[in-house]
Amino acid sequence: RKEVEQDPGPFNVPEGATVAFNCTYSNSASQSFFWYRQDCRKEPKLLMSVYSSGNEDGRFTAQLNRASQYISLLIRDSKLSDSATYLCVVPGNNRKLIWGLGTSLAVNP
């Protein structure tokens, strides 16, 4: 099993839709998780941190399922500007971060 695994997509959704991505991780001892957003040809930017069961910020909700070892990102009322690649990150050993390959989202008018 890969350390961090994401469905690459692409997810194509209409404006206003609700979309959810999952990210599975292999290290059951992991305590914190992150979602980053990366626009085309740009650097990744931190979107949300998840330290306990979940986190909510406006239209974005991140949830953690420790039993099944996955985190999810839910986007409600999708906007065109939400089109990007969403990267899941899990801290590893020695201050390293383990990155998923990302899930591509395209929100269509």
Partner 1 sequence: SQTIHQWPATLVQPVGSPLSLECTVEGTSNPNLYWYRQAAGRGLQLLFYSVGIGQISSEVPQNLSASRPQDRQFILSSKKLLLSDSGFYLCAWNLGLEAFFGQGTRLTVV
Q: Which residues lie near partner 1 (CB under 8 A)? A: 32, 34, 41-46, 49, 87, 89, 91, 94-97, 99-102
DSSP string, 42-88: S--EEEEEESSSEEEETTEEEEEETTTTEEEEEE-S--GGG-EEEEE
Instruction: For partner 1, give the closer residue by CB, 20 or 51.
Output: 51
Instruction: For partner 1, give the closer residue by CB, 52 or 109.
Output: 52
Instruction: For partner 1, give the closer residue by CB, 17 or 54.
Output: 54
CB of 10 to partner 1, least distance (A): 12
Instruction: For partner 1, give the closer residue by CB, 10 or 14.
Output: 10
Q: Quick check: 90 and 30 in contact, CB under 8 A?
A: yes
CB of 56 to partner 1, least distance (A): 18
β-strands 4-6, 19-25 pairing = antiparallel
Q: Quick check: 54 and 70 in contact, CB under 8 A?
A: no
DSSP tag of 24:
E
CB of 27 to partner 1, least distance (A): 14
